[in-house]
A = this chain, B = another copy of it.
Amino acid sequence: MYEPLFNYIERYARAGIADGEKDIIRSAFELKRLSKKQYFSEEGKVCLYTGFILKGAFRQYSVDDSGMEHILQLAIENWWIVDRQSYINQTPSAYFIEAWEDAEVLILPRAKLDVILTIPAIQSMFWQMSENNHIAFQKRVDDTISLNAVKRYENFERLYPQIVQRFPQHQIASYLGIARETLSRIRRPSSR
C-alpha cells in the first residue's frame, strides 16, 4: 500500500530510504478512502491533511460571490493534494478539495509533518516538490497572460492528457479560465 509513496520519494529525492525510515513513514501516513463528491477539505475549515493520491482524482476550487466555481488544481494518482496555506498555518481554507472519482489517499496530519521532515530523503523530496510546483505555477501564469483560449487548451492537452480524459469538459474550461461553451467550440473539429 505504501509502495507508490516510497517509489515517489525515492524518485524525487534521488536517494534511497532505509527500512527504519520506512517504518517512520508508515506510522505517519494513514489510508483514507473517499467516495466521489466527498470533500477532502472544505472552504472555511482548516485543511487537516496533506494527501498522496493512490487512486482516484481530485479537484481544488474556490467559489466566488456569484456562486461560480473556479478550479485551481486537478490531480490524479501520484499527485499531492493539500491547501498549503491552510495546512501549514492551520488557518481556514479558501478552497474546496473534492474527490471526483472514488479515491484512496495516504494522509499526513500536520503534526506528523515535522516528524517525517527529520528524514533527509523526505526533506529533499519536499524541496524538489516545492521547486517543481513553483515552476509549474509560474508556467501556468505565463501561459495565462500570454496565450489565447485555443493555445491554452492545446497546451494543457499536451501537458496533461490523462487529466483531459478523466474530468468533464466544463471543469477543464474552469481550470483554463474560459467559459464551458468556449471550450466546447474549441474542441469542435473544424477549428483544429
Contact = CB atoms under 8 A, between A and B. Distances in A.
Interface stretch (A25-33, A96-104, A133-141, A163-171): A133-141
Interface in A111-168: 130-131, 133-135, 137-138, 140-142, 144-146
Contact of A133 (B71, B134, B140, B174): B134
A85 interface: yes
B146 A70 contact: yes
Interface string A73-91: 0000000000011001000
Contacts of A137: 134, 137-138, 141
Interface in A168-192: 174-177
Given A88-B131, A130-B130, A135-B85, A141 B142 contact: no
A134 B130 contact: yes
A64 interface: yes
5 contacts: A70-B142, A70-B146, A144-B144, A144-B177, A145-B177
Interface of A: 62, 64, 68, 70-72, 84-85, 88, 130-131, 133-135, 137-138, 140-142, 144-146, 174-177
